[in-house]
Amino acid sequence: MGSKNKLKRFNENATFKNVIQPAREEVVSHFKYQGKWNEFFGNDHPITLELGCGKGEYTVALARKYPNRNFIGIDIQGARFWRGAKTALEEGLNNVAFMRTQIELVDAAFAESEIQEIWITFPDPQMKYKRTKHRMTNPEFLVKYKRILQPNGIVNLKTDSEFMHGYTLGLLQGRGEEILYAHHDVYSNTESPDEVTATQTFYEKQYLEIGKAITYIKFRLH
C-alpha cells in the first residue's frame, strides 16, 4: 500500500465515529472507556473482541450475524482496519468499533470481566524462541485475556500456522485449561463450527488458494 493511500486512510479513520485511536499513554494511565464500553455503544450487550483484526472481516461478519452483541476489532495498523470500519458505517452497523492500540494493552483498555468472547485471527506465530513473548497465546497474554473475560468467556484461535496451533494446544493442556474444540484442518472437517468456516479473512483466502490447512482452537481459561 502506498504511503499516500495510507495517509488518506488514516485521515478518514479520524472522522469515523466507530474508530478510537488513543495514545499509548492514555490507555496505560486511565483509559476513559475501560469498564464503560456500554457507554460507547449505548447499551449493555455482550462484547466480543477481534485481536489483531487486520481488515476486520470477523468483526464485521459477526456484527452482521449478531445485532444484539457488540464487536470491537483491535489492531495497531489503522490503515488495515479502515476497510472494516468503513464497511460497518456504510451498512449502518452500530454494534461495531475499531480501536488502534497494541494488543499487550488489552487489559488496560478493558475492565475485569467486561468481555464475553475473544477471536484471534491469523496472528504472527513468532516462531523464534526469543519471540515467544510476542506470541498472542503465550502465558502472559492468557493471563490478560482471563482478567478481561467473563467467567465462562470463550477464546477462539484461527490460524494457518501448524506451529502456533501446536504451541497453543500444548500450553493449554499443560495448564489444565478447557479445550472446547480443536482441529488441524477445519475445512476438511464437516463438523467444524459455522462461525469458523463461514467467514474468511483476506489472508485466509490466499492460504486456501495454495492449499494451506486452516487450524482452529476454541477454549476457556480457568
**Residue 31 has what DSSP assignment?**
-
Catalytic residue, chosen from 107, 124, 160, 194, is 124
The yes-or-no answer on residue 160 being catalytic is no
Q: Are the beta carbons of 192 and 214 closer than 8 angstroms?
A: no
Burial of residue 182, with CB atoms counted within 10 A of its CB: 0-12 exposed, 13-18 middle, 19 or more buried:
middle
Helices (H), the chain: 3-13, 24-30, 37-41, 57-65, 78-90, 106-109, 139-148, 162-175, 194-197, 202-209
CA 114 to CA 172: how far, in whole Å?
A: 22
CA 206 to CA 122: how far, in whole Å?
A: 12
Catalytic residues: 124
